Amino acid sequence: MHAEARGVRHWITFGFSLALSVVVLYFIFHQIDGRLFKQLIKNQDRGLLAASAVFIFLQIILAGERWRAILSALTRDRRPAALGVQAVYYASIFFNCLPIGTLGGDVARVLLARRFAVPIKQLVLSVLIDRIVMVTALVLLSVVTLPAIPDPLARNAWFGGIAILIVATVGFLLLEPIGRILGRWRDWQMVSLLLLATEELRYIGHGRGIVGLLFGVLSAASAAFGGYCIARSLDISVGPIAILAIMSVMSLAVALPISAAGWGVREVTLVTLFGLIGIHRSAALLLSVEFGLLTTLLSLPGGIIWLTLRDRPNVPKLTTSQSQD
């Protein structure tokens, strides 16, 4: 019964996400200037579009290194090989771009990562912390760059980012006393998992977590520059700082598991944010669609990697701490 209930909830969630994406895309596409849309495609600089694909691919690789830094910290003296981690992460990107969205990618990542001979709890924790680091990096970039957009909405978003960072910092500083309080109920499975999470967060926060955060910032910046290349290819007049702010906020919105692979949410976010700096909605929509299509196309090799790795036995692929990363 429980399995059936979970299955029903899964399909309801999937149906809601798909319906939301379809409705939002329908609404946005009916608000654009079709002639301008076609003219933008006709005059687009194909070289800059190709450069955008390079930056989006680099973003995937840097995000894989972000997760590897976190996984290496959790495994202490045994670190998964760089190529193996990149392969597993790239395969998960393929599932991120399917209608099931980021949650499907995270599940695929954990399933494939069992080949690293790492306990399942640590794998799940590594993916969770990776998500936390990704969001932190995006919020940091947003706070630094949003002042470049002179609009009350951007200013409110900036204050929101500052509030999130303050709350996150206070929460991190309170991890130790929280752990002591929860220690009374250590025998409870849920409490035991929370204690493990707090201990690992404290450990990572003082070590390789900084490395992971650095890769997170670089990954987010690479995706933003991919968007910047598309903007310049469409002759959209926008500065690199403003595009960093816009793409960072968009990535935060897309990270919410409420749409099919971010479609719809990405478009309405970019159309709204580009509108704040006077960019026509047709140009902003085309940029969003091309960014989504490039991301999807670049994720396709991940499907091949998944098919290749899933049939292989789970064998240890760990190196010692003295090994070269």
Q: What pLDDT digit, counting tens, does each position of 18-72 carry?
A: 677 777 777 777 777 778 888 888 889 999 999 999 999 999 999 999 999 888 8
- Close Cβ partners of 212 (under 8 Å, ≥ 6 residues apart): 66, 67, 69, 70, 73, 129, 130, 133, 204
The number of distinct structural domains making up the chain is: 1
Residue 90 pLDDT = 95
- Which residues in 41-63 are b (16+ Cβ under 10 Å) and which e? eeebeeebbebbbebbbbbbbbb
E strand segments, 151-192:
none
* pTM confidence score: 0.84
**Residue-range definition of the domain harbouring residue 20:** 2-26+44-312
Rounded-to-10 torsion of CA 149, 153, 154, 160: 170
Residue 165 within a domain:
yes
Answer whether residue 290 is part of any domain: yes
Q: Is residue 250 part of a domain?
A: yes
Quick check: is 75 in a domain?
yes
6 inside domain: yes
Residue 38 falls inside a structural domain: no
Low-confidence ranges of the chain (pLDDT < 50): 315-325
Instruction: Establish if 319 belongs to a structural domain.
Output: no
Count of Cβ atoms closer than 10 Å to residue 134 Cβ: 24
Q: Report pLDDT digits (tens) over 263-293.
A: 888 999 999 999 999 998 899 999 999 999 9
> What value, to the nearest 5°, has the Cα angle with vertex 278 and ends 276 and 279?
105
pLDDT at 162: 95
pLDDT score at 168: 84
